[in-house]
């Protein structure tokens, strides 16, 4: 049985997910929203018009470019439009706005001013990559793009080395090989990982293996949109092996219980188990 498509909310800011590769993944609600919106803020207006043409829909509202360089200035303007009762639609080039894409400042401005914010969900490169990776998906973190500078990127990876959650990264094809080398250095060459290239597109490719395998597989370079999924740390689960880390934090002035909680977050262990192991160590001298 057919259902009526929900109309775009007036007086609200709506975030809409766009296809990450295959135009056929556009939802009926997204297509309807393009025709209903009074203002459409797009990361690249030309790409949006090209997508609308493929979807056989003509945007009726004003188009406004919204990118990293002008979002701070245009956030208030867009929220003003919604406050006047306008239907404001935010889209990025691919996937959901605000997820490694513009839109966050607009949402924050709307929240501060009490303007409703809603979404039209849809394609997500991060979740699509996680789903096909074959790596644990019960707990995961989205890390986005690593810093461009070598030292900052290495420090970011070192901080994640003992994170037990599956990690999702975006990366450019030009930097992929170098990033995988850094990951192998920080996480160890035997850590399992997956490189997803051109998801949902004609030349979709999923490379699985250890980080060492993927470093070798990308030595000659790759093309396309890239998402990297890396297995979380699966080190020892014995709380006694992490007592020194808790005591080191306590020696720096942190309360013992807080130190145990901090190490528990990094290792996936239970705070109470770590705390008990520390007390047992101290009791034993």
Instruction: For residues 126 and 31, give the distance between their C-alpha atoms in angstroms, rounded to a whole number.
Output: 22
> What pLDDT shows up at residue 282?
87
> What pLDDT shows up at residue 165?
95
- 279, 257 in Cβ contact below 8 A? no
> What pLDDT shows up at residue 141?
97
> What pLDDT shows up at residue 1?
44
What is the side-by-side strand order in the sheet with 12-16? 62-65, 39-42, 87-91, 12-16, 117-120
> What pLDDT shows up at residue 3?
63
Residues in CB range of 11: below 8 A, 6 or more apart: 82, 83, 84, 85, 86, 87, 115, 116
> What pLDDT shows up at residue 2?
52
Cα→Cα distances 175→47, 62, 178, 227, Å: 24, 36, 5, 12
Cα→Cα distances 245→25, 56, 143, 157, 248, Å: 47, 59, 24, 19, 5
37: left (phi over 0), alpha (psi -120 to 50) or beta: beta
> What pLDDT shows up at residue 240?
84
β-partners of residue 171 are 226
Closest by CA position to 84, among listed 13, 5, 176, 155:
13
**What H or E segment, with its residue span, contains residue 205?**
strand 205-210
Model pTM score: 0.80
* Residue where the block lists tokens 């290495």: 154
- The dihedral built from the CA positions of residue 158, 161, 165 and 171, taken in this order, carries a sign that is positive
Mapped to the 3 state alphabet, what secondary structure does 155-198 carry?
A: HHHHHHCCCCCEEEEEECCCCHHHHHHHHHHHHCCCCEEEEEEC
Q: Are strands 226-230 and 166-171 parallel, antiparallel or unpaired?
A: antiparallel
> What pLDDT shows up at residue 264?
82
> What pLDDT shows up at residue 195?
98
β-partners of residue 192 are 210
Q: Provide block-wise average pLDDT over 10 residues at a time, the chain (285 residues).
A: 76 97 96 97 96 96 93 94 97 94 95 97 96 96 95 92 94 97 93 97 96 97 96 81 86 91 79 91 82
């Amino acid at each position: 049985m057919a259902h009526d498509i929900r109309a775009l909310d007036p007086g609200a800011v709506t975030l809409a997910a766009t296809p990450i590769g295959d135009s056929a993944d556009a939802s009926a609600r997204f297509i309807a929203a393009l025709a209903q919106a009074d203002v459409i803020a797009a990361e690249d207006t030309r790409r949006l018009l090209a997508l609308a043409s493929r979807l056989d829909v003509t945007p009726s509202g004003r188009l406004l470019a919204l990118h990293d360089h002008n979002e701070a200035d245009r956030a208030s303007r867009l929220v003003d439009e919604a406050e006047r009762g306008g239907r404001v639609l935010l889209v990025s080039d691919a996937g959901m706005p605000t997820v490694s894409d513009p839109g966050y400042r607009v949402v924050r401005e709307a929240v501060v001013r009490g303007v409703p914010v809603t979404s039209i969900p849809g394609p997500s490169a991060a979740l699509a990559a996680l789903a096909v990776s074959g790596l644990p998906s019960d707990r995961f973190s989205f890390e986005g793009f690593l810093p461009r500078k070598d030292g900052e990127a290495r420090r970011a990876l070192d901080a994640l080395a003992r994170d037990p959650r599956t990690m999702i990264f975006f990366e450019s094809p030009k930097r992929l090989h170098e990033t995988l080398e850094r990951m192998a250095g920080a996480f160890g060459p035997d850590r399992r990982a997956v490189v997803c290239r051109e998801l949902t597109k004609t030349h979709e490719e999923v490379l699985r293996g250890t980080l060492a395998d993927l470093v070798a597989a990308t030595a000659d370079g790759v093309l396309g949109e890239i998402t990297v999924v890396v297995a979380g740390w699966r080190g020892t689960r014995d709380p006694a092996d992490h007592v020194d880390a808790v005591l080191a934090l306590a020696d720096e002035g942190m309360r013992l219980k807080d130190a145990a909680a901090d190490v528990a977050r990094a290792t996936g262990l239970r705070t109470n188990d770590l705390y008990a192991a520390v007390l047992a160590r101290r009791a034993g001298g």
